[in-house]
């Protein structure tokens, strides 16, 4: 029998590359999107969830009935909850109040206990989702804390899977890798592998307006004046994760909520790909990068689409939500005109 698995975890990895044709038509390079929504948990975070949990099992840190605790903007939580169901563990998650209700409902449907924490507080504030997860883990017997932001296994998961997949799928012809940065594990692990194969590959991280990662990469210092609230989930940070290998990244570009939102919807309309908010963000990052760098017809670019748009139906795909953010004018989207504005630069 072929393509038959003992359980859903066997579907993790080996996600496809799909060529982008319309949203990238002004770029001479060939651009492929790696669709991580084809993982069973519909995001790239499936890779780290199973990798970190199985590493803990090998060390004897988990047994049936143990508890797994984590900080998440949603996707990591879905993946951990899914793995915990199959392996017989309890799951406790701390999320920020930026997380939409449907995501929280999804987490609860997978049996997770969910703590909702304020987003706009310092990372070391006891109310932050980082600190709440740490406290819950310390107070819960027979538990482990995934700690994806500071766990080297986050990097290792992508070094072992995502990077090799991209290399093999492009037959080693990849010239540029572009991905959003949150914990940094996806881009760092993939970049580490690919640069070992070919140091000339350019790696571009996409940061959010309101985050400190881009300026930290450029100066080695935290610029607190960069920090302000923003809407894109699972991207950017107000702390420096050790899972983000800055030395593997050649350049950062920073994108704002509005253009990432428009771009997400454009990808659905023009490529028929229902991606999450970060799908629009990474594509916007690609186009901003292309404004200041010369691509050629021989370049082969891979952009990583981290998750599925079904988790954002009441957010970026909602005309009402877009209007609340003042991203639309009476529900009419003139994409071609929007993309000609100064916002793209």
* Residue-wise pLDDT tens digits, 168-212: 999 999 999 999 999 999 999 999 999 999 999 999 999 999 999
Domain shared by 120 and 237, yes or no = no
Looking at the chain, the whole-number percentage of residues with pLDDT higher than 90 is: 82
- What is the residue range of 253's domain? 8-38+161-340
Looking at the 3D structure of the chain, how many domains does it have?
A: 2
Q: List active site positions.
A: 45
What are residue 281's phi and psi, to 5 degrees?
A: -65, -45
Domain shared by 81 and 168, yes or no = no
Q: How confident is the model at residue 119 (pLDDT cuts 50, 70, 90)?
A: confident
Structure tokens at 212: 């400190």
Looking at the chain, the whole-number percentage of residues with pLDDT higher than 70 is: 95
Residue 161 has pLDDT above 60, yes or no: yes
Q: Which of 86, 116, 149 is the last residue of a domain?
A: 149
Pick left, alpha or beta for residue 141 (phi over 0 → left; psi -120 to 50 → alpha; otherwise beta): beta
Mean pLDDT of all residues in the chain?
92
Residue 331 has pLDDT above 50, yes or no: no
Where is average pLDDT lowest: 231-240, 264-273, 323-332? Answer: 323-332
Residue 133 has pLDDT above 80, yes or no: yes
Q: Is position 109 within any domain?
A: yes
Q: Which of 98, 117, 149 is the last residue of a domain?
A: 149
Q: Is position 2 within any domain?
A: no
Per residue in 13-56, pLDDT tens? 999 999 999 999 999 999 999 999 999 999 999 999 999 999 99
* pLDDT for res 103: 84
Per residue in 85-111, pLDDT tens? 999 999 999 998 878 788 889 999 999
* pLDDT for res 58: 96
Domain shared by 182 and 140, yes or no = no
Q: Is position 216 within any domain?
A: yes
Q: How confident is the model at residue 73 (pLDDT cuts 50, 70, 90)?
A: confident
Domain shared by 140 and 190, yes or no = no
- Mean pLDDT over residues 130-158, rounded? 95
Helix (H) / strand (E) containing 304: strand 300-305
CATH code for the domain of 103: 3.40.50.1100
Domain shared by 203 and 321, yes or no = yes
* pLDDT for res 341: 40
Per-residue H/E/C for 104-125 = HHHHHHCCCEEEEECCCCCCCC
Sequence-ordered list of residues with C-beta below 8 angstroms from that of 317, at least 6 positions apart, any chain: 264, 265, 268, 309
* pLDDT for res 332: 46
Q: How confident is the model at residue 121 (pLDDT cuts 50, 70, 90)?
A: confident
Residue 334 has pLDDT above 80, yes or no: no
Domain shared by 55 and 189, yes or no = no
Domain shared by 142 and 53, yes or no = yes
Q: Is position 345 within any domain?
A: no
Domain shared by 294 and 202, yes or no = yes
End-to-end CA distance of the chain: 52
- Determine how many CB atoms are found less than 10 A away from the CB of residue 159: 22
For residue 168, what are the CA distances in angstroms to 158, 173, 188, 301? 14, 9, 18, 14
* pLDDT for res 336: 52
* pLDDT for res 101: 82
* pLDDT for res 96: 86
Structure tokens at 74: 């949603």
Q: What is the pTM of this model?
A: 0.91
Domain shared by 77 and 24, yes or no = no
């Amino acid at each position: 029998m072929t393509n038959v698995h003992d359980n859903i975890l066997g579907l993790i990895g080996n996600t496809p590359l799909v060529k982008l044709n319309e949203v990238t038509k002004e770029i001479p390079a060939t651009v492929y999107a790696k669709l991580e929504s084809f993982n069973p948990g519909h995001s790239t975070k499936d890779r780290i969830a199973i990798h970190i949990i199985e590493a803990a099992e090998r060390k004897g840190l988990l047994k049936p009935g143990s508890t797994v605790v984590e900080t998440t903007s949603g996707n990591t939580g879905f993946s951990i909850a899914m793995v915990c169901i199959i392996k017989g563990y309890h799951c406790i998650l701390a999320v920020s109040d930026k997380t939409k209700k449907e995501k929280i409902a999804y987490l609860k449907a997978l049996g997770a206990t969910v703590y909702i924490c304020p987003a706009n507080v310092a990372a070391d504030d006891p109310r932050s989702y980082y600190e709440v997860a740490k406290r819950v883990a310390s107070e819960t017997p027979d538990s482990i804390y995934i700690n994806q932001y500071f766990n080297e296994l986050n990097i290792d998961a992508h070094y072992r899977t995502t990077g090799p997949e991209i290399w093999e799928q492009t037959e080693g012809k990849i010239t540029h890798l572009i991905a959003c940065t949150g914990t940094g594990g996806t881009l760092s692990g993939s970049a580490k592998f690919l640069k070992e194969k070919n140091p000339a590959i350019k790696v571009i991280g996409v940061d959010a307006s309101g985050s400190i990662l881009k300026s930290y990469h450029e100066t080695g210092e935290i610029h607190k004046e960069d920090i302000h609230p923003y809407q894109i989930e699972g991207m950017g940070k107000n702390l420096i994760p050790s899972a983000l290998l800055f030395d593997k990244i050649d350049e950062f570009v920073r994108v704002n909520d509005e253009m990432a939102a428009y771009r997400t919807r454009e990808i659905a309309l023009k490529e028929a790909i229902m991606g999450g908010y970060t799908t629009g963000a990474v594509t916007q990052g690609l186009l901003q990068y292309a404004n200041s760098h010369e691509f050629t017809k021989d370049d082969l670019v891979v952009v990583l689409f981290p998750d599925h748009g079904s988790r954002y139906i009441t957010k970026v795909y909602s005309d009402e939500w877009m209007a609340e953010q003042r991203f639309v004018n009476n529900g009419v989207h003139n994409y071609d005109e929007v993309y000609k504005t100064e916002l793209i630069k």
